Amino acid sequence: MPQLDTSTWFINIVSMFLTLFIVFQLKISKHSYLTHPEAKTTKMTKHLTPWESKWTKIYSPLSLPQQ
């Protein structure tokens, strides 16, 4: 059974990473970003839910009295 030749793996992996790096740099450089971004103003709206107005307690099944 022949041995697997791994002598070219290093150059293939390095060239792949270099190509990916160059491609991503080119893609990122084509984006135009705003020079002075401004924050959006958001309004806080209060939603009334039925469980906010009354006191509730959650009982664990293990803390219930034995029957």
Whether the predicted pLDDT of 63 surpasses 80: no
**pLDDT tens sequence across 35-61:** 777 777 777 777 666 666 566 666 666
User: What pLDDT shows up at residue 39?
Assistant: 77
> What residues does each domain of the chain span?
1-30
Residue located via tokens 């959006």: 40
- Exposure pattern of 44-62 as b/e (b: 16+ CB <10 Å)? eeeeeeeeeeeeeeeeeee
Q: Sign of the CA dihedral 10, 11, 17, 21? A: positive
Quote the CA–CA distance of 25 and 29 in Å, as a whole number.
6
- On average, the pLDDT of the chain sits at 79
Whether the predicted pLDDT of 67 surpasses 90: no
User: What pLDDT shows up at residue 9?
Assistant: 92
